[in-house]
Amino acid sequence: CDDGNDVETDDCLSSCAAASCGDGVIWEGVEDCDDGNAVDDDACSNQCVYGCLANTTKCVDNDTLETCNEMGEWLPTDCGAGESCIGGQCLTLCAQAEQTNASVGCLYYAIDADNHDGYDALQYSVVVSNVDDAETANVNVLQWSNNNWMVLQSSQVAPGTLHQFDLPDKHINLTGVNPRGAYKIESDVPIIAYQFQPINGQSSFTSDASLLLPVSALDKYYYIVGWGQNSYLRPEIQIVATADDTSVTLTPATNTTAGGGLPALQAGQPYDLPTLSEGDVAQFEGSAGFNGSYIVSDKPISVFSSHNCANVPSLQAACCCDHIEEQTFGLQTWGLEYVGARFAPRNNNNPEPSYWHIFASEDGTTVAIDAHADVTGIGPQNLMLDAGEFVELAVDGSIPNPGDFFVSADKPISVMQYMSSQNAGNAGTGDPAMSQAVPVEQYRPNYVVLVPPNWINDYLVVTKPAGAQVTLDGAMIPQNSFVAVGPQNDPSGWEVARVSASDGVHTLEGNENFSVTVVGFDSYDSYAYPGGLNQQVINPQ
């Protein structure tokens, strides 16, 4: 053969042999071998021809898929409307989003979490934004009715715009199962989604928000991280099934109250929940914090960590309490490195403390914390934590270095930030909110985020590698907006900026992976949530 291989011309072969054509080349009219070569078991040939293995595929361009037939010939096929050829497949935009394992997707479940009784009736809302730059998204919000998922509200969302769905109250109080109590959100184009409880920050006094995760980014393994310190009301968790016949086991780290078909649970004792159907919400109220509670299921579930009305740092220390909530990241997405990028200070002349939990998932976890000399409250710079243990930090700083720090561990950890109550120390405005820090390993190069209406002060907290460039709505964020994280003589290589932002949809793009947190506050109220992240499995269970 021309390529240096040779063929057998003395005998007809019925099995693969060394004397055959090389990879990517076959004998004319021959049968396939496992290694990509082929032999002729009917007639001998001394001619090698280029060919392919039957039923293999490849993309010629974004719109064309080629499939190899039985004769070793590539046959082209046009991808369907709304599809692109990626990795040898014609995929819709939604299918492409599913493969990325990120916070962008086409199927979500949202819940109306329990709030302070006086404010539960205020408007609960889900806000979606279309992240595609060309296609209009057709978005439906469904609820269970008459033994089926029925469309409750619909909207066409143009590229780069948002729509706010104001939804009826569906919360339950205290412990109990809320049958089909979740809202189901479907789109034919990838979107990002957030929920607000309630949406109107100026009049509610007990608001927070959650970045919702699409079903494609959900996990089957969770540790709970959340606020449980002495407060006006109690902490809760919510477990949401995304498929029928879902089995869930909860091992709570605190005693729970009974109610709504669920018994009182004892700390440390595993409990098998009643089998859940798609959209069922199991809610548990704890006598203390749920930190360290472990959840495992046989199908992907979503899990929320919330508090009816939390005082930060405590009821005795400060007024006032605020509803806080977060859809938690699955254990398999936890990382080893985090930047503790604090929320925008509410007192520009004397930054108030920010509160943090650093949580371990495995025994013998070594945690190291680095910060500028102006940053105080980080405690010992090297910690040892076991599975389910956490450390609480009250981190303070100066005007130029208001309290950012870098955390690294030898085993996967989680990091959560809390905003303090308005009357705690020198804050002067705002109230508790919570937001998960994103592992450095899950940073992305671009985000589309929503700054909601109705709050007076809104900020984007941007964390990037030193020297990287990040644009906000096409304009470069000035380098002098960023503060280096870590000791002055040995910085961590990360920088943080807190950028004031107007209401509406914003696009951020970087030449390296970075992160963004959206935060807002006004008198006795606040919200915070991560602007997005990858949800790659980097900690397999």
Helix or strand run (H / E) with residue 390: strand 390-395
Residues 57 and 112 both lie in one domain: no
Residues 69 and 115 both lie in one domain: no
3 part of a folded domain: no
Where is pLDDT greater, at 452 or 105? 105
Question: Residue 202's pLDDT is what?
Answer: 55
Using the 3D structure, point to which of 98, 122, 144 is the last residue of a domain. 98
Residues 346 and 474 both lie in one domain: yes
Residue 2: band (very low, low, confident or very high) from pLDDT cuts 50, 70, 90: very low
Residues 506 and 379 both lie in one domain: yes
Question: Residue 31's pLDDT is what?
Answer: 45
Residues 386 and 491 both lie in one domain: yes
Residues 70 and 202 both lie in one domain: no
Domain of residue 85, residue span: 25-98
Residues 137 and 155 both lie in one domain: yes
Where is pLDDT greater, at 115 or 466? 466
280 part of a folded domain: yes
Residues 338-395 have pLDDT tens digits of 999 999 988 888 888 899 999 999 999 999 999 999 999 998 788 999 999 999 999 9
Residues 83 and 108 both lie in one domain: no
Residues 103 and 91 both lie in one domain: no
Helix or strand run (H / E) with residue 204: helix 201-204
Rounded Cα–Cα distance for residues 380 and 401 (Å): 19
421 part of a folded domain: yes
Q: Is the pLDDT of residue 167 over 80?
A: yes
Residues 47 and 189 both lie in one domain: no
The percent of residues in the chain predicted with pLDDT above 70, rounded, is 87
3 state SS of 363? coil
Query: Most confidently modeled of 167-176, 341-350, 401-410?
Result: 401-410
Using the 3D structure, point to which of 98, 127, 161 is the last residue of a domain. 98
Using the 3D structure, point to which of 67, 98, 129 is the last residue of a domain. 98
Residues 396 and 434 both lie in one domain: yes
80 part of a folded domain: yes
Question: Residue 241's pLDDT is what?
Answer: 98
Rounded Cα–Cα distance for residues 503 and 505 (Å): 7
Rounded Cα–Cα distance for residues 86 and 64 (Å): 10
Domain count, the chain: 2
Residues 462-478 have pLDDT tens digits of 999 999 999 999 999 99
Rounded Cα–Cα distance for residues 215 and 101 (Å): 9
- Average pLDDT score over residue span 239-261: 96
Q: Which amino acid is at 457?
A: N
- How far lies 234's CA from each of 40, 286, 289, 311, in Å? 75, 6, 8, 10
Residues 366 and 411 both lie in one domain: yes
15 part of a folded domain: no
Q: What is the DSSP letter of 122?
A: S
Rounded Cα–Cα distance for residues 308 and 286 (Å): 11
In angstroms, the first-to-last Cα distance of the chain is 50
115 part of a folded domain: yes
463 part of a folded domain: yes
What CA dihedral angle connects 433, 192, 220 and 328, to 10 degrees? Answer: -10
Question: Residue 231's pLDDT is what?
Answer: 65
6 part of a folded domain: no
